[in-house]
Amino acid sequence: MRTQDKITQALEKDFSPLHLEVVDESHTHNVPDDAQSHFKVTLVTDKFDGLTLIKRHRAVNTSLDGEIRDSIHALALHTMTPEEWFAKGGQSPDSPPCLGGDK
């Protein structure tokens, strides 16, 4: 199973998201073809209500513990409540460029 699919399954199970987008951005970085190492995650769930950004990110990291330890080099997280998501017009920002070198 591809890493992107494992990430999606874990986050769907743990967060029951209103919106979830997992994008493999590895191809935009200086890594081997099909590295599956750089991901952008947009996760919108009411489970983030009342949580600080760091607590949201820690919850995602806990959910992905095995995947992070084993194969993920970079993870851009955009974690929002439904209200925040709608206030942003249903958009998440672009990921920053990798400091390790772009292709």
Query: In this predicted model, what pLDDT tens digit does every residue of 74-89 receive, in sequence order?
Result: 788 999 999 999 999 9
Confidence (pLDDT) at 95 = 72
Average pLDDT, the chain: 85
> In the Cβ-directed half-sphere of 79, how many Cα atoms lie within 13 Å?
21
pTM of the model: 0.84
Are residues 85 and 18 in contact, defined by beta-carbon separation less than 8 angstroms? yes
Are residues 56 and 79 in contact, defined by beta-carbon separation less than 8 angstroms? yes
Kindly list the structural domains of the chain, giving each domain's residue range(s) and its CATH number in brackets, ordered by start: 3-84 (3.30.300.90)
pLDDT: which is higher, 5 or 27: 5
**CA 55/CA 87 separation, integer angstroms:** 21
Q: What is the mean pLDDT of residues 37-41?
A: 80
Nearest C-alpha neighbor of 36 from the set 23, 24, 47: 24
Are residues 28 and 38 in contact, defined by beta-carbon separation less than 8 angstroms? yes
